[in-house]
Structure 1
Amino acid sequence: MLESLGVGAGSGGLGQRIPASELDRIDHALVFGLQKDGRASAAALARDLGLDQRTVRRRVERLLDEKVIRIAAVTDPRQLGYHSRALVCVKTSGSSDHGRLYQEIAALPEVDYFTVTSGRFDFQAEVFCADDVDLNRVISEEFRGRPRCRPSRCSTICACTTRTPGSARSARCTSRRASGRSSSMTSTTASSRCSSPTAG
């Protein structure tokens, strides 16, 4: 993909983020175009937008370097052998800084997505496991097994739908934020208590 755009393999490194106010219409159009097809060549993008290929390459390289976008493969977890997926919501105990705990949970190989939240729960983690037995092990050992970690709810994800980048909402989101995310997920869940014998 990078080669088709004429962008060096080292792009997308440790750059400073571009303030949203500095992204213009061309930047937004390139982000939206790459959301629709992450393999689009510089020539195709230039043709669609009526731009010079050199301008496209320069702009895309800047967006990568400044971490506005990243080019990544979006996988199907089930095809990779992960058949149990859950959202684990956790309350933490104690009043000390939980930064280290957050880092430990976020670094678990089974955790795909981690967020610190306000409200009833302190954080939530999206967990991918091979099966329900493995999911129960992860919740028991990696979550409940930590002194300050109190899993309060586990929602098994039964189905998910990918919003296509070409949708009206996606276009609005791209225009507002130029986030560069290739897709977003909405999930249908079935809730179960984490204290149950099996998670899900």
Structure 2
Amino acid sequence: MVSCLYAECFLLAVFFPLLQVGAKNKGGLYSFDVRDIHNQVTSLEQYRGKISLVVNVASECGYTDEHYRHLTEIYNELTIEKNEPFTVLAFPCNQFGNQEPDNNEEILKFAQTNYAATFPIFGKTNVAGRNPDPIYGYIKDSFHSEPTWNFWKYLIDEKGVVINGWGPRVTVKDIKENIVGAIKKLKTKSHGEL
């Protein structure tokens, strides 16, 4: 009897944390907490119900200017002007070529001064390798790929599920049709539920 109880406790101790991780992942990307650009813990739950474009950004990359300009344009057009259920979620990363060496405050100033970026920018994050931030671990596990350079873009649906992903050679303008299509699909679903 005692040995059975011990075995049950052992199994719970080993598998309960795994069940919790699985339960968290069932909530999709929006079930995670992250650090914002001011190093405060914030929940991605506030973006549930929207289509999100998750991007690992860098300030000193050859792709920086084009991507920041296009990210700002699409965010301004879809989110601010048209009030669509869409957002850009930018995660600065210094893992590729040391191209995001600045601190969070300098990163935010760079994005706002040079590109008038108003989309959410989070704290510096590891997006690949052995210890990625949990949201990028989730992306890797669900999409079976991880960023190999700056400006990987992942399209996330309203439930936090990864729809698609593209590397840095694919521009934001190249995927605008995919973004607009995901928004239309979401709005069609929403109207059907009324």
Q: Which has the higher strand share?
A: 1
Q: Aligning the two structures, in what range does the TM-score lie when normalised by the shorter sequence?
A: under 0.3
Q: What TM-score, normalized by structure 2, do the two folds share?
A: 0.26
